[in-house]
Amino acid sequence: MRRFLCILMCLSMASMGSALSITNGDFEALGIRQDVPDWFDYTATFLRLLYSPTDTQYMGFANDDCWAYQSIGFNTGGLPALQIQYDIGAVLGGYEDPEDPTPPRDVVLTVSIYESDGSFVGSDGPGSSDIDGADGVTLIDSVTVTYPAMAVGLDVITDSVTLYYLDSAGSGELFLRFANEGDGVSSTDDRFAIDNVQIIELPSIINPFPKEGTDFVAIERTSAENDLVFTVVDPAITKVDVRFGTDPNLYSPDTIVDDMTVLPGQYTITLETEYPQNLAWSKEYSWKVLAYEPNGMEVSLKYTSPVWSFTTIQEGPFLGAVTPGRQVARVGEDAVFGLTMSSKADAFQWRYYPKAGDPNVALSNGTDYAGVDTDTLTVLNAQPDDAGFYFCVGTETASGLSAESLSSGRLLVGQLKTYYPFETTYTDGGGIFTPDVISSKNMQLMNGADLSDANSIVGKHLLLENPAGATTEWAQIADNTVTDYEDITIGCWFRATTLINSNDRDRWNRVWDFGSDATEAFFLTMLYRQNDPRQGGWDVARSEWNWYTVEDGENVRHNQELDVESEIVPEEWYYVVVTVEDGYGRIYLNGECGTEFESPQGLSLQSPLEFEKTFSYIGKAVGATVPYLNARIDEFKIFNYALTKEEIAEEYYSVTGVESICDLEIYDLYDWDFNRNCKVDLPDFAEIAAKWLVDYRIFPEPD
């Protein structure tokens, strides 16, 4: 079967009742050379089919410039397009003698749709009037097709299809016309026949609900389910590109399918897969197909389809995504959710569910919520129980149709979840504990670790004395859910008792460490490297993540570090904070952000919630047999959200009373403020100028 490269439109609903039809399209049960009822033709001849054992009759076109047409009815239903399907075969060299050796010629057929204003009257027989060019008649659409060198009685093309748009048609009478255009060489030898003429109506496409991930519920002039469908006819075509975009000329399109290998047949391009961007509502989109054939080792462009367009249209209400998609409200704050857009909805109902898979409930206005019957919801005085997912249902009252928002909005209620002030201890079952004054996830002091008020920053603090040769003291939290939050802030005050230069001891000291072993852990370490040339000669506070993902069936280990380069001086207090928010990590030292991190290779930074935690240690590594930290720790706090840099600065102010800290994030200040005085000044320019125009290229040695 051979077909044209054309765009086919699939049906998603029944015919719209336009009552367009063909009369006597199969030409059966009629006498030889008899006029065919309802067809007006130039030759008034009806020829017997010579080349088909199944069909016995067809309409023959014996000469160039002969034609036939008929009325197909009125487009009362407003069809946007239709297809004409027919069979075509050659009758070259004269139908009386199929063995005539006349060489085959190309057959050129034009199929057209016309509209009459009612004044045109068709006529039949020799000298009859043609509808083409007649008064009161408008050409709506026309397709001319060349069938190359069809052999006598041997080459019958079945189910040939041409597509016609009826955009410019009104409600007048429509006519279908076939014409033999000839090859310009002979007026007698370009004979062919058509049979089994059919009309295939293509109504508008109505999808009652939007597909997930799209911003529309219906499309005109394209296929069902928002797909692009085209057919390859020419067997010489081996590759196609499909271009798509909002530019009607497709000057700068997205090539959504590139270099696709094809054979003759129908192909469907799913926009949801190939064009993951949401389509905008009430907007025109265009597309076309480029077809290529082999040319040596390359391929050459052979066909370019017309540019086809559709407009996203709306039936019933439509609600866009809930915005923001994710937000954190502190306890006692209000949280507001809205919609990216809504159309035709005049009644709204907000609903809530705590976790994925939980049943949802309709909300009511009152002390907890406001605006539940509008397009904007306010969660009043947010509390921990308000955490969860919120979505909206919109209704068009006139039609009774409803639609849900494309997505839900998530609310996280941020609060201080764990707090160890290290002010008191108690004994329980022979163990010594210091309390978590928020959630009772108490900390056990191990092997002589104790609280002290000497050299304190705030009241008492945890003292871990592990000088070289005496490595025993640390602490642990028995409840390993202490860090089970998607977002988190862990902050504390830290003071090194001694500066340890041993590489092994530096590498294994931990302020805190949560995980299962050294390869699945989330920790903070204070590495003292100032006098160790093996480690680069600098000091650092480091938070590190080690975790696994499964790739191609195998575990792949990942590691990421956040560092603050600073001179860590023994017997001085430092405020160190690590935050994780939606896969993004930061580390702060004394209120200033050191480095920030968003995981490479498309991986979000794994949150503490995802770590397999067997141990939750303070002052000891989960992969070490003994603790190495010789230091003091105070005001250890865990929040279930990421504190802002302003909130972290406030925590630092509240203890130290300093007037200000430097915001190194502004204008990438860490890259230009070399002397760290919180401004880019002449000494910083001097650092830059010291290497101005220095050429560091290396040239090969001459032979």
Q: What is the pLDDT of residue 231?
A: 74
* Strands 173-180 and 67-74, sheet pairing: antiparallel
pLDDT band at 384; cut points 50, 70, 90: very high
Q: What is the pLDDT of residue 550?
A: 62
Residue 173 has pLDDT above 60, yes or no: yes
Q: What is the pLDDT of residue 203?
A: 40
Length of the chain, in residues: 703
Residue 532 has pLDDT above 60, yes or no: no
Q: What is the pLDDT of residue 43?
A: 59
Position 18: which residue type? S
d(CA 698, CA 701): 9
Q: What is the pLDDT of residue 218?
A: 30
Domain residue ranges in the chain: 17-202, 206-313, 318-414, 416-574+600-658
The larger pLDDT score, comparing residue 17 to residue 636, is at: 636
Q: Exposed (0-12), middle (13-18) or buried (19+): which is 658, by Cβ within 10 Å? A: exposed
d(CA 384, CA 335): 13
Q: Are 95 and 60 in contact (CB under 8 A)?
A: yes
Could you give the dihedral angle defined by the CA atoms of residues 259, 263, 264 and 270, in that order, rounded to the nearest 10 degrees? -50
d(CA 536, CA 227): 59
Q: What is the pLDDT of residue 410?
A: 93
Residue 7's closest CA among 182, 225, 165, 184? 165
Q: Going by C-beta distance under 8 Å and a sequence separation of 6 or more, which residues neighbour residue 553?
A: none
Instruction: Out of 70-84, 225-239, 601-615, 618-632, give the one with best mean pLDDT.
Output: 618-632
d(CA 334, CA 651): 23
d(CA 566, CA 560): 19
Residue 150's closest CA among 99, 237, 91? 91
- 196-251: pLDDT as tens digits: 898 876 543 322 233 333 333 333 333 344 577 777 766 778 888 888 888 877 76
Residue 115's closest CA among 141, 77, 145? 141
- 556-565: pLDDT as tens digits: 766 677 777 6
Q: Which residues of 333-365 are buried (b: 16+ CB within 10 A; e: fewer)?
A: eebebbbebbbbbeebbbbbeeeeeeebeebee
Beta-ladder partners of 463:
450, 632
d(CA 32, CA 58): 10
Residue 122's closest CA among 46, 199, 69, 60? 69
Q: Which fold has domain 416-574+600-658?
A: Jelly Rolls (2.60.120)
Q: Angle at Cα 665 formed by Cα 485 and Cα 536, nearest 5°?
A: 85
Q: What is the pLDDT of residue 89?
A: 77
Above pLDDT 70, what percent of the chain?
71
Q: Are 470 and 607 in contact (CB under 8 A)?
A: no
d(CA 318, CA 280): 12
In which residue are the tokens 């003091």 written? 632
Q: What is the pLDDT of residue 547?
A: 67
Rg (CA), the chain: 39
Residue 601 has pLDDT above 50, yes or no: no
Q: Are 228 and 268 in contact (CB under 8 A)?
A: yes
- 126-167: pLDDT as tens digits: 667 889 999 999 999 888 888 776 554 545 666 677 777 776
CB atoms within 10 A of CB 37: 10
- DSSP type of residue 326: E
Residue 313 has pLDDT above 80, yes or no: no
d(CA 129, CA 40): 9
- 455-467: pLDDT as tens digits: 999 999 999 998 8
Q: What is the pLDDT of residue 63?
A: 67
- 330-365: pLDDT as tens digits: 999 999 999 987 878 999 999 999 988 899 999 999
User: Which of 181-185, 218-222, 408-412, 670-674 comes out lowest in average pLDDT?
Assistant: 218-222
- 406-440: pLDDT as tens digits: 889 999 999 999 999 999 999 998 899 999 999 99
Q: What is the pLDDT of residue 592?
A: 82
CATH 1.20.950 describes domain 206-313 = no
Q: Are 353 and 360 in contact (CB under 8 A)?
A: yes
In which residue are the tokens 């959630």 written? 439
pLDDT band at 638; cut points 50, 70, 90: very high
Structure tokens at 118: 């009612």
Q: What is the pLDDT of residue 311?
A: 67
- 564-584: pLDDT as tens digits: 767 778 888 999 998 888 778
User: Which of 85-99, 304-318, 464-478 comes out lowest in average pLDDT?
Assistant: 85-99
The full DSSP string for 325-382 is: SEEEEETT--EEEEES-EES--EEEEEEESSTTSPPEE--SSSSEE-TTSS-EEE-S-
d(CA 479, CA 246): 56
In which residue are the tokens 């047999």 written? 625
Q: What percent of the chain is helix, strand and coil (3-state, nearest 5)?
A: 10, 40, 50
Q: What is the pLDDT of residue 537?
A: 42
d(CA 422, CA 453): 10
Residue 597 has pLDDT above 70, yes or no: no
pLDDT band at 284; cut points 50, 70, 90: confident
Q: In which region does residue 505 sit, left (phi positive, over 0), alpha (psi from -120 to 50) or beta (all else)?
A: alpha
Choosing among 3.20.20.70, 2.60.40.10, 3.40.50.2300, 3.40.50.300, the CATH entry for 318-414 is 2.60.40.10
Residue 51 has pLDDT above 50, yes or no: no
Q: Are 575 and 589 in contact (CB under 8 A)?
A: yes
Q: Which fold has domain 17-202?
A: Jelly Rolls (2.60.120)
CB atoms within 10 A of CB 329: 21
- 363-382: pLDDT as tens digits: 999 999 999 999 999 999 99
- 87-107: pLDDT as tens digits: 887 764 444 445 555 556 677
Residue 73's closest CA among 120, 10, 116? 116
d(CA 286, CA 306): 10
Beta-ladder partners of 257:
242
Could you give the dihedral angle defined by the CA atoms of residues 151, 152, 158 and 163, in that order, rounded to the nearest 10 degrees? 70
The chain-wide mean pLDDT, for the chain, equals: 77
Topology match between the domains 17-202 and 318-414? no
